Amino acid sequence: MKKILVTGGLGYIGSHTVVELQNSGYQVIIIDNLSNSSLDVLEGITNISKTPPAFERLDLRIKADVADFFKRNQDIEGIIHFAASKAVGESVENPLLYYENNLNTLIYLLQECNAYGIENFIFSSSCTVYGEPDSLPITEDAPVKAATSPYGNTKQISEEILKDTCSVSALKAIALRYFNPIGAHETAEIGELPAGVPQNLVPFITQTAAGLRKELSVFGDDYPTEDGSCIRDYIHVVDLAKAHVIALQRLLSEKNETQFEVFNLGTGRGSSVLEVVNSFEKTTGEKLNYKIVERRPGDVISVYADTKKANKVLGWKAEKTMEDALESAWKWEKKIRNIS
């Protein structure tokens, strides 16, 4: 069994990826500092896969601790790196935290990759690198625009660090640019656990339906779209998790065409905020209390992926529907709120 390190493996996307790795026969070791996750997730992963992954609570910002970890785990064959701060608003208020947490940690990991000859690296990137796109759907060749937040900037800089490192070492890396992950595992053993007020649409919808939030605010209905609300490419988190396993297998079997590759991960279809709201109501039978409010500064009108490269080159395709995602998200919300 190949040993794979998953950083941030108790987070939302990380935990679902750990499950898919274990289901595919990999031995997983998780590093997480629990700053935005919970140890309960470890139990959820184990309940699904029947295999408890190895876990170490470790802060990747502490270089000596990172070095010590790799000294004790010299048999790691690949890394999937999720651990990062990810709230756009918080990054604007506290840019140094984001630069330290998202860049230093990557550098320390790559230094250990060089030291121990670890050549396979999957990086959790984002469609935020594209900014307001010039044309839709967005291909991997679309220009990377000046970042509108320190969070977005850390993703751009991280990709540049990886590209530069690959050019002078044996490292092979794939950056996966996610669009909008939603949903939860069908077992409702793991799902999204936003800290405080959710920044993303679907957790806000499910919390509103569960009575935690008074109402959902839809930011603007006067955009140049069919129903006036913003459009995003919402992808089921389990589909996203499976893409990481396929990307890792691509590197391990040396099928990569260049040392550094980039793939968009989305469905290729845009859905408006109001479409998601209506779909949730239809799928679950729950009536949502929502109101239209002013536009939110910085919101891009429409973003959705061109997935041809991921489909043809990576050999991956999103299979689950919006209804699957919303149904699983609601099932998860009801479980954690003890709603029957």
Active-site residue set: 151
- In 150-200, alpha helices (H): 150-167
The DSSP bridge partners found for residue 323 are none
Q: Residue 224 burial (CB < 10 Å; 0-12/13-18/19+)?
A: exposed
Give one DSSP letter per residue of 104-140, joined into a string. IHHHHHHHHHHHHT--EEEEEEEGGGG-S-SSSSBPT
Helices (H), the chain: 12-23, 40-49, 63-72, 88-93, 95-99, 105-116, 150-167, 201-209, 237-252, 273-284, 308-309, 322-336
Q: How far is CA 52 from the centre of its chain?
A: 22
**Other beta carbons within 10 Å of 312:** 10
Distance (Å, whole) CA 338 – CA 330: 12
User: Phi/psi class of residue 228: alpha, beta or left (left: φ > 0; alpha: ψ in -120 to 50)?
Assistant: left
**Rounded alpha-carbon distances, angstroms, from residue 231 to 31, 45, 142, 207:** 34, 32, 18, 21
- Cβ(17)–Cβ(82) below 8 Å: yes
Cis peptide before 52 (omega within 30 of 0): no
